[in-house]
Structure 1
Amino acid sequence: MRVVCYISGGSYEAWRPDAGQFPASALGRNLDGWPDERWLDIREISPRSPLARIMTARIDMCRTKGFDAVEFDNVDGYVNQTGFPLTAADQLAYNRFLADTAHARGLSTVMKNDIDQIDDLVDYFDMALNEECSRYNECGRYQTFIAAGKPVFHAEYGSSTAFCAADNAANINGVLFSLDLDDSAYRPCR
């Protein structure tokens, strides 16, 4: 069994213990549907920048607590309305920083959702996770990870496991969950 540590790498969450460490200038627009969560300005990630220090401390916490891997969420700000002029190059540099920092601490890395940069990031991440790639017709984009011998995990939310046949055929590890993640639905495809 492997245990994965969740980190929102691209957003500020008001309820986290380190929320007070983020400079106001790094906080952008709210994420759609998440009123207490704001996009981060990821353009400055030098080793001494506040964002680099905060994320490194989070990754260190994962290692200290005995996790095996880190899942980085919200690492696709450049394709969202963040309030900052983020570019694809900014996002690549930031995502690579996160992966390199975790690897330097002996942790595996999980790339979550940044489908437009899969080809550029497959060498930096050990596995991938997508939410609702079946619903949005994105699962085929993960063949780069599968061809590299890296696992792909897929979470669908709803009431039907109709996506399972396609996931199984594509060697994707799909699971149906309830949107509330409250254990009311948990149906692995295989």
Structure 2
Amino acid sequence: MERRARAVAGTGAALLLLLAACTPARPPTPDRSAATQGQPVTLPPTGGVFDYQLGGPSERVAEKGPVPTVVERDSSATALPGAYNICYVNGFQTQPDETEAWKQHSDLLAQDADGALLVDPEWPDEHILDPSTPWQREGILALVEPVIASCAERGFDAVEIDNLDTFERFASIDRSGAFALAADYVRVAHRHALAIGQKNAAGATQRARSIGFDFAVTEECGAFDECGEYREAYGEHVLQIEYPGSLQRSGKTFDEVCATPDRAPLTILRDVELVPVGQAGRRYEQC
């Protein structure tokens, strides 16, 4: 898969402060009824203009272009007034600027047989969270929940939880534990009136939908012929990003992706670094 840009600023100061503190106490058990009934959520629009801005925020999709209707930004960024805002949270791996702080909680990080911390081969400055046991999930959730809450407080409408697929990429990650943590994230998001999006992991769409994810954000599903799996689970509530390199390697053009019946209603082509408007290398097209 294409090496995508990750949010440049990490998940923000709130998590860094929590990581620097002592090991978190057991968080309160979420109230399922309050999360699902007391706090209704709004799903992303299926029309308009979409942009994926993890490389840095922009007010428009081009210097003289339209303002996004739907935009995703890092949790440390500011929500865009008037748009539907999605907050990026790396829920299953560490962010680069938080790595050293997470090491203070190494029992929450996946390790190999020799006790060395696992890293993502594509992102060697990111360690892997280990949700395999209930107490590990409690510790992770106590640190990540304030970030999700902060997204709601600062005007975001939804969160996208990245790297659900670590259980597919690392044998030591327990699949059931990963989905249990994902379900915890769903309850936390809904309790804060945030919709929650599944990120990638096409093979997990039905399971993710069944535990309460509301929509999907998919990178390269057109290049890898996976869009139908997301559409089957989430209908029109899929946001699709393609990258030039992976399309070229798959022998497809963006126009061909746009012409496929199972592509998402909001499908864009972005440069792999996701650079802001006005910077060299930016690329943006929408079907």
TM class by smaller structure? 0.7 to 0.9
Question: 1:156 is matched with which residue: 213, 231, 242?
Answer: 242
Matched, 1:33 2:122: yes
Unaligned stretches of 5+ residues in structure 2: 1-82, 111-117, 246-252, 277-281
3-state SS of 2:184 partner: helix
Q: Distance in 1 between matches of 2:151 and 2:125?
A: 23
Q: Distance in 2 between matches of 1:98 and 1:130?
A: 18
Q: Distance in 2 between matches of 1:106 and 1:21?
A: 31
Q: Is the 8 A contact 1:110 1:125 kept in 2?
A: yes
- Following TM superposition, where does structure 1 have runs of at least 4 consecutive aligned residues deviating by more than 4 angstroms? 45-48
Question: 1:109 is matched with which residue: 196, 217, 220?
Answer: 196
Aligned match of 2:249: none
Deviations along 1:110-133, one digit per CA (max 9) or x if unpaired, are 110122221122141111011101
The one of the two structures with greater contact order (alpha-carbon pairs below 8 A, sep at least 6) is: 2
Unaligned stretches of 5+ residues in structure 1: none
Q: Is the 8 A contact 2:222 2:263 kept in 1?
A: no
Aligned match of 1:165: 259
Q: Distance in 1 between matches of 2:137 and 2:257?
A: 45
Aligned match of 1:142: 230
Aligned match of 2:39: none
Q: Is the 8 A contact 1:145 1:152 kept in 2?
A: no
Q: Distance in 1 between matches of 2:99 and 2:193?
A: 24
Q: Is the 8 A contact 2:99 2:127 kept in 1?
A: no
Compared CA separation, residues 20 and 122, structure 1 to 2 (3 A):
closer
The letter for the 2-side match of 1:98 is: Y
Aligned match of 1:188: 286
Q: Is the 8 A contact 1:130 1:155 kept in 2?
A: yes
3-state SS of 1:111 partner: strand
Aligned match of 2:221: 133
Aligned match of 2:209: 122
Q: TM-score w.r.t. structure 2 length?
A: 0.58
Report how many residues are paired. Answer: 183
Q: Distance in 2 between matches of 1:26 and 1:47?
A: 6
Q: Distance in 1 between matches of 2:198 and 2:182?
A: 9
Q: Shift of the alpha carbon at 1:85?
A: 2.3
Once the two structures are overlaid, the 10-residue window that deviates more, 100-109 or 49-58, is: 49-58
3-state SS of 2:97 partner: coil
Q: Is the 8 A contact 2:167 2:173 kept in 1?
A: yes
Deviations along 1:28-48, one digit per CA (max 9) or x if unpaired, are 311122121111101235598
- Please identify which structure carries the higher strand content: 1
Q: Distance in 1 between matches of 2:84 and 2:244?
A: 26
Q: Is the 8 A contact 1:45 1:51 kept in 2?
A: no
Deviations along 1:57-114, one digit per CA (max 9) or x if unpaired, are 1111111211110010011111012xx6223222221111111110011101111012
Bigger Rg, which one: 2
Q: Shift of the alpha carbon at 1:177?
A: 0.3
Compared CA separation, residues 67 and 87, structure 1 to 2 (3 A):
same
Q: Distance in 2 between matches of 1:19 and 1:5?
A: 22
Deviations along 1:153-174, one digit per CA (max 9) or x if unpaired, are 11111174131111xx225121
